[in-house]
Amino acid sequence: QVPLPYLVSASCPSALAMLSRLSSSTASRAAWVVGGGRRTFAQSAIVSTLQNKIQALAEKKTPQFTKLRKDHANAPIGEVTVGMCIGGARGVKCLLSETSLLDPMEGIRYRGRTLEECMEQLPKAVGGNVGLPEASLWLLLTDEIPTDAEVKALNEELHKRSTIPQHVLKLVDSLPKDMHPMTQLSMGLLALQPGSVFGQEYRSGTMKKTEYWKHTLEDALNLVAQISPLSSRIFRNVFFNGQHVAADPSLDWAGNYAHMLGVNDTDAFKEVTRLYLMLHADHEGGNVSAHTTHLVGSALSDPYYAYASGVCGLAGPLHGLANQECLRWLKETQKALGGQEPTVEILTKYAKDTLASGKVIPGFGHGVLRKTDPRYTIQRAFAAKHFPEDPLFKLANVCYEAIPPVLEATGKVKNPWPNVDALSGTCMQRYGLNQEDYYTVVFAVSRSLGCMANLVWSRLM
């Protein structure tokens, strides 16, 4: 039986709430073709396959949605308190999330699969062990694990769609180097908006409502294809004086992004980039970036408008900046130790002193989870395999042992365990990506996958 979407709480101000389920061939080049006075899209084989799989899943789900509306439209799903309203709708069950579910004990699930299962089941790069993030996009859209051939064709399709128009390159290249990379990314996405297929079709006046999702899918694929070269160009402009690294079409989507950043050309850096992008791809619909994208998209704003707004939400200190704050805290702690080898005893005292001074310890706790974040656990296993002697990783490992008991002893923390941000920055820095102001852009590249999949399903159902 195909599960219904997940019911989640409203956004505010960080990723919130799971609550419950409501029930238990190489691609040809996609090209513009002039016809009938307007532009239409010549569809590739892999996009046709993707559309057919999405349509087939929708046909299974539609009767369930219809029954839900008919039989349970007036059924209460919870109470709303004054405190919830004052808290910005925290904990209010009022959103549907089609693609993923945040379970308090198991962490995020992509279409019912844990991240550990996704890591195991999703296709890998040649010689790699990490589930490809572009394969997770396919999973989020179709509820199916793609074959190696499907992922290969999807990657070829994304490469073909990745061209950035000259007017966008000119704009991005003209921006001040001291402008935050997230500001530049949101501007770049808006500059790409004139190319929106959905926007052009809607303005033509001939698009039927039943076709909304197909044109949204076109935009979604284009945006995912374009966001990595756009983001890498911003990176090279700001930190490397505009010395760019050409794309490598032989690489997968995530591997090519790592390649274009140009800080480390090893297979290990490509793998850690794939890992980061896969783990951050989706996180229900209640977090700021996903909810903002969904909200703006609900006005039939096209995916470029919608995700540009989501990126602005992601730029906030309480959402996307957490990983760089965690890295900075680790560095400050390392400096405070003055060369001492970190031990549980030393870090326990340091954590107590930090709390006593009125400061917080970033990277621990979560609004929903009640155990260690599986995303942290997966990153920790990667680090232990690839760089076990890295000083920052060793410090983070001791923090994992020392800090939760200190937080738990305060009696004020529901979840004292580390979250994904506790190691993300450490993994990036290990391979030379030490420009901390750019970390949120990497997050935005990853989260585009889940936000785009959600937009497609919003227009479909």
Return the active site residues: 319, 366, 421
Q: 407-423 burial by CB neighbour count: b if 16+ within 10 A, else e?
A: beeeeeeebbbbbbbbb
Alpha carbon separation from 416 to 15, 368, 390 (Å, rounded): 17, 12, 24
Alpha carbon separation from 404 to 26, 311, 347, 365, 416 (Å, rounded): 50, 31, 11, 9, 5
Contact at 8 Å (CB) between 436 and 328? yes
Residue of 79, 122, 118, 124 lying closest to 100 (CA atoms)? 118
Preceding omega of 13 cis (within 30 degrees of 0): yes
Contact at 8 Å (CB) between 53 and 144? yes
Contact at 8 Å (CB) between 182 and 55? no
Structure-block tokens of residue 373: 């974040």
Token look-up 């409203």 returns: 10
Contact at 8 Å (CB) between 293 and 223? no
Q: Which long-range contacts (CB under 8 A, 24 or more apart) does 16-20 make?
A: 16/90, 16/91, 16/286, 16/287, 16/367, 16/368, 17/90, 17/91, 17/93, 17/102, 17/284, 17/286, 17/367, 17/368, 18/101, 18/102, 18/103, 18/104, 18/284, 18/368, 19/93
